[in-house]
Amino acid sequence: MKNKRNDLVFTARSIESVTQSWGIFGRLDSMVFLVAAITCFGFVIWGAIDAKSLGATMNSILGVISKDFGWLYLLSVFGFVVFLFWLAFGRYGSTVLGKDGDKPEYSNFSWFAMLFGAGMGIGLVFWSIAEPLYHYTAGPAYAGAPLSSSAAEWAMAISFFHWGISAWAVYVVIGIPMAFLIWRKGLPALISSMFYPIMGDKIYGPIGKTIDIITLVITFFGLSTTVGMGTMQLASGISFNYGVALDNYLYMPILAICCICYLCSACLPIEKGIKVGSDISMICTLGLMLFIFIAGPTTFILDNTVNATGLYLQNFIRMSLWTDPVAHTGWPGSWTIFYWAWWITWAPFVGMFIAKISKGRTIREFIIAALIVPSIFDAVFFSIFGSTALNFEMTQATKGLIMNAVNTDVSSAIYVMMAQFPLVQLIIPILLFVAFTFFVVSIDSGTIVLGMLSSGGDESPRTSLKILWGIALAGAAAIEIFLGGIKPVQTLCIIMVLPFVFIMIALCYSTIKMLRQDCVIDANVVQQSPALEENTAKLTSST
């Protein structure tokens, strides 16, 4: 049957028909793999040869994007939030992400732990102390004067905003159609597949290839900077706690150990690798949160949480759409726009991963669980750790203690704060373990997605292919660290996100169309059922 753009039937080509054999790596989409690999390592080599040139070029382009397209990032992410709530509580909310009768494969606790570990993980540990302090000392104009009581109150609300519903909406916008197509329609696990309702078989042509190449490139760079950030976070903790010099002689062994661990995890099935690691890290995280809540300024934490929640809910639209059009302080570009672009670099890999683990969930269940529950957990985590840091900063006896650590080395701030509590020799190793497991879970799930993207959408890419991507990520991160930090490549990620914003906007339309088509198909089946039963009865009586 010839497929047309308005067909209601989803007809997937076999992976064998769109890929080529690469020996031990299995079958790969040669064009997507080669173009993406050349692009990724071309920029890495550029940075290795002339880091200053790369940094200057990327910063110049980023300035233009933030100035001229910042409104697009803000409006798009706000639109994603509105779209998902409409989807969850509208007529399509009860649609199952799978065949009729499919049940969830993982318990709610394990599912949420994997969502959280892949979606935030190490970043939450990295910024939970630093971000509220930054907003307290140099926040947006609407938060009041720096170091004022108003700035202190707004600091936590802004942190909720950057790590809350809007961030998770970016992931879920991709997760919903991906889960629908791979589990209900049997299409390959690729971003281009999600455009089948509006492009038909053209997803296998140049446009579809371009979409997958862009996706693979930004996913690789987003993950490589995460590897670098995680390595520095762990190195800071080891240096602070055990007095080891913070240099490449510490970074490289840590990077090698982490690489070995996430590659070993990648060799295991999800239920034995990522699931176990996520469950353990979640339990340890809850224990740390409870410890700080009890041993820290409990009353201030509770007061600040309730107050920040009110500010967040009352001013959500204002914060979502504030472009600073008059004063032009540059704050939205440095914070909100930067964050939205950063979450979008993670969107393909997190969205595809949570789609992979969400078989049998309804759209409403998926959105509520992946949008609301993690946002609440992020807010509680920030409230406990961030409010404690703010309390130290606003108390005269400890003023400057944590902020100085933030200004010296952001990744060391959480360890400096934890050292002010009893049982530090027990707590910091647990914190290191949490950071380590979050790190391993994130990159393990990332290698799976990189494998899927480069193998034509194979949901179970060869272990050798995942190992190849894992080693490539570690190699890129090592070069970034040797060059003095992850900032230039991180900036590159943000720039490459711009075309992907348009892909995500088009994806929302494609999602609506595929769900409408599915409803039409279901309605036709229901209408045909009585006639089928009548014909069957006649045939039975005649025999």
Listed ranges 75-79, 341-345, 401-405, 416-420; the one with the highest mean pLDDT: 75-79
Among 255, 197, 261, 206, residue whose Cα is nearest residue 228: 255
User: Rounded to the nearest 5°, which phi and psi values hold at 114?
Assistant: -70, -40
520 falls in which pLDDT band (50, 70, 90)? low
Q: Domains in the chain and their CATH numbers? A: 32-522 (1.20.1740)
Determine contact, residues 63/502, Cβ cutoff 8 Å: no
* Residue 175 pLDDT greater than 60, yes or no: yes
* Residue 57 pLDDT greater than 70, yes or no: yes
Question: What proportion of the chain, given as a percentage, has pLDDT over 70?
Answer: 89
Question: What is the mean pLDDT of the segment spanning 467-477?
Answer: 89
Q: Taking each helix axis as running N to C, give the angle between helix 30-49 and helix 463-482, from 0 to 180 degrees, rounded to the nearest 10.
A: 20
pTM beyond 0.85: the answer is yes
Question: What is the mean pLDDT of the segment spanning 357-378?
Answer: 88
Question: What is the mean pLDDT of the segment spanning 382-395?
Answer: 94
522 versus 293: the higher-pLDDT residue is 293
Q: Other C-beta atoms within 10 Å of 373: how many?
A: 16
Return d(Cα 543, Cα 530) in angstroms, integer.
Answer: 20
Helix, strand or coil, per DSSP, at residue 123:
helix
Question: What is the mean pLDDT of the segment spanning 334-359?
Answer: 87
Question: What proportion of the chain, given as a percentage, has pLDDT over 90?
Answer: 40
Virtual torsion, Cα 483, 487, 490, 492, nearest 10 deg: -80
* Residue 506 pLDDT greater than 90, yes or no: yes
Return d(Cα 123, Cα 116) in angstroms, integer.
Answer: 11
* Residue 311 pLDDT greater than 50, yes or no: yes
Q: What angle do CA 190, 195, 196 make, to 5 degrees?
A: 95
Q: Which element (helix H / strand E) includes 69?
A: helix 51-89
Q: Taking each helix axis as running N to C, give the angle between helix 336-356 and helix 487-542, from 0 to 180 degrees, rounded to the nearest 10.
A: 40
Burial of 179 (0-12, 13-18, 19+ CB in 10 A): buried
The sign of the CA dihedral 69, 176, 171, 87 is positive
Return d(Cα 416, Cα 428) in angstroms, integer.
Answer: 10
Return d(Cα 308, Cα 153) in angstroms, integer.
Answer: 7
Q: Other C-beta atoms within 10 Å of 79: how many?
A: 16
Structure tokens at 532: 């089928």
For residue range 89-115, list pLDDT tens digits in order.
Answer: 999 998 988 887 788 887 777 777 777
For residue range 7-39, list pLDDT tens digits in order.
Answer: 445 666 778 888 899 999 999 999 999 999 999
Among 9, 3, 6, 1, residue whose Cα is nearest residue 524: 9
Average pLDDT value for the chain: 85
End-to-end Cα, the chain, rounded Å: 35
536 falls in which pLDDT band (50, 70, 90)? very low
Question: What is the mean pLDDT of the segment spanning 285-300?
Answer: 94
Question: What is the mean pLDDT of the segment spanning 400-412?
Answer: 89
Please report the DSSP string for 249-294 in residue order: HHHHHHHHHHHHHHHHHHTS-TTTTHHHHHHHHHHHHHHHHHHHHH
Q: Which residue has the tokens 């071309």?
A: 42
In one letter, which amino acid is 515?
A: L
* Residue 511 pLDDT greater than 70, yes or no: yes
Among 374, 372, 358, 442, residue whose Cα is nearest residue 181: 358
Q: Which residue has the tokens 């910091």?
A: 428
* Residue 139 pLDDT greater than 80, yes or no: yes
What pLDDT score was predicted for residue 484?
67
Structure tokens at 501: 């914003």
Least confident of 117-126, 230-239, 274-283, 494-503: 117-126
* Contact residues for 32 (Cβ-Cβ < 8 A; gap 6+): 209, 212, 213, 216, 453, 454, 456
For residue range 265-279, list pLDDT tens digits in order.
Answer: 777 776 666 667 677
